[in-house]
Amino acid sequence: MPGDSSHTPSRSRITAGELVIVCSHYDLGVIEEVRRFRGGSRLAPKVLIKTQWGEFLLKRRAPGVANEPSKVAFTHEVITHLASGGFPSPPPLETKGKKLTMLQLAPSSPGGGGVYEVFRFVHGERFDRTASSAWAAGWWLARCHAMLREFTPLFPAPRRTFHNHAQVPDRLLSISGVLSDPGVRPVCRALADAYLAAAARVEQIVGSPEPMTQIVHGDWHPGNMLFRVADGGETAEGAREGVPPEALRVAAVLDFDSARLGQPLHDFANGAMQFSVHRHFGEGASGGEGGSGGGGGPWRIALDPELFAAFSQGYAAGGGGLGGLAAAVPWLMIEALIVEAGVPIASTGQFGKLNAKPVLGVVFKAAEAMGAQADRLSGLVRGE
C-alpha cells in the first residue's frame, strides 16, 4: 500500500547486489568504475557508472508519486520527444530485450526493489549567474514550450499549479502550529494575504477564458540545468541548425519529474523568478533568529534586474511570446516564491537546512519588493 515502507529499498544508497541486477538489464559495456553520485534528492540514490562506452547515471526513483510506473512513463515520453527534436536532454536508455525505458524490480530483489532508470551522464557547470547564461536558459524554455505545444502523451499528464491553489493559504496558516510558535502567526497571515492578492491580480490580468494548457517542464530552475564552460563550449556535438551560439552554453536540461499539463505563462514566471532571484546564505543562516515579520537575519533574497531581463529576452528570441499577459508575470513570481518556501515549511517545519522562522520574514519582504516593482518587471518582459 502507498506509504508502507516495510518493503522499500534503503533510501541512502544503491547496494552492490542491486547494482549487479540492474546493470544486467542494460547494454552498458564493460564496467570500469562505479561510484556513488551525490546530487538531487536523497530519496532518489544515484550511481555513476564508467564503462568502455562512456559514462552513465543510474537512478532509483524516490518512493511515492514519482515512483508510479505511469508517472515515470509519462516523464520519459516527454524527454524522448524533446530529445528527438534536438533538445539538450539525455533520453533514458532502454533495457535489453523488452526495450523499456524503466526497470522495475520486485520487493524481494536485492535492495528491496524499486523503479530504476539509466541516462548518459552529461558533464557541465552550474549556473554562473551571468546574463548570457540566463539568456540561454530563457531561450531553451521557449523551445521547450514550442516543441511540446502539439505533443499529446500516451500516459496521463499530472495537473498541478502553484497559481491560485485553494490549499496554499491554509498550509501557510498552519505553519505556526507546525513550528509550535504562535509568534510566526502574523507573518504567516501576511504571506497568505500576499499570495491571495497576487493570485487575484493574475486572474484580473489574464481574464477569461484562460490561456490554453499544454505540457510544460514545471520546475525550470538553475539546479536542473548544466552549462558548458564559458571559454567556448560550442562543441561539434552542441552545434545544431537553428540554435544560436549563445544558446549552446546549455549542455543539458535535467529533471522532468515535475512535467505536467499547465500554462507556459506560469512556467515562464517561475523560471524567471528562479534564474533572477539571488538567495544569500550568510553566517548563521541555519540558526539565526531574524525577524519573523521584518525579514532580518543573515538570509536574504534579492532580484537581479539584469538577469531577469536577459532571461526574458532569451525567451522572446526563442519564439516565446506573452503579449498582454506580461503584466501577470510579477504576480505569478510572488505566488511561486511563497509556495516554494511556505509549502516545505508547512510540511516539514524546515526550509532545507535553514531556520524556518527568519525565512518566512525574508520571503514576505521579497514578495513585497516584487509587488512594488511590478510595472518595471512587466516592462522588462515586454523588452521595454
**16-120: what fold?**
Phosphorylase Kinase; domain 1 (3.30.200)
pLDDT for residue 216 is more than 70: yes
Q: Predicted confidence band at 12 (pLDDT cuts at 50, 70, 90)?
A: confident
Sheet holding 46-51, edge to edge: 31-37, 46-51, 54-60, 114-120, 103-105
pLDDT of residue 230: 60
Please compute the mean of the pLDDT values over residues 195-215 and round it to a whole number: 93
Q: How many Cβ atoms are within 10 Å of 200's Cβ, its own excluded?
A: 12
pLDDT of residue 4: 38
pLDDT for residue 296 is more than 50: no
For 123-138, write each residue's pLDDT tens digit. 999 999 999 999 999 9
The Cα–Cα gap between 347 and 239 comes to 44
For 99-118, write each residue's pLDDT tens digit. 999 999 998 888 788 899 99
Task: Provide the CA 231 distance to its chain's centre, in angstroms.
Answer: 27
Amino acid at 178: V
pLDDT for residue 85 is more than 90: yes
Q: Predicted confidence band at 240 (pLDDT cuts at 50, 70, 90)?
A: low
Q: Domain spans of the chain?
A: 16-120, 131-381
- 131-381 and 16-120 share a CATH fold: no
- Distances 290 to 172, 187, 212, 354, 369 between C-alpha atoms, Å: 19, 12, 43, 12, 18
For 253-294, write each residue's pLDDT tens digit. 999 999 999 999 999 999 999 999 998 765 444 443 333 334
Q: Predicted confidence band at 239 (pLDDT cuts at 50, 70, 90)?
A: low
Name the residue with higher pLDDT: 299 or 368: 368
- Distances 366 to 104, 160, 191, 370 between C-alpha atoms, Å: 44, 24, 11, 6
C-alpha cell at 109: 530483489
pLDDT of residue 2: 35
pLDDT of residue 235: 47
pLDDT of residue 234: 47
Q: Predicted confidence band at 30 (pLDDT cuts at 50, 70, 90)?
A: very high
DSSP H helices, the chain, are: 16-23, 69-84, 131-148, 168-173, 175-178, 185-206, 264-276, 305-317, 329-348, 356-372, 374-381
Q: What pTM does this model have? A: 0.90
CATH superfamily of the 131-381 domain: Aminoglycoside phosphotransferase (APH), C-terminal lobe (3.90.1200.10)
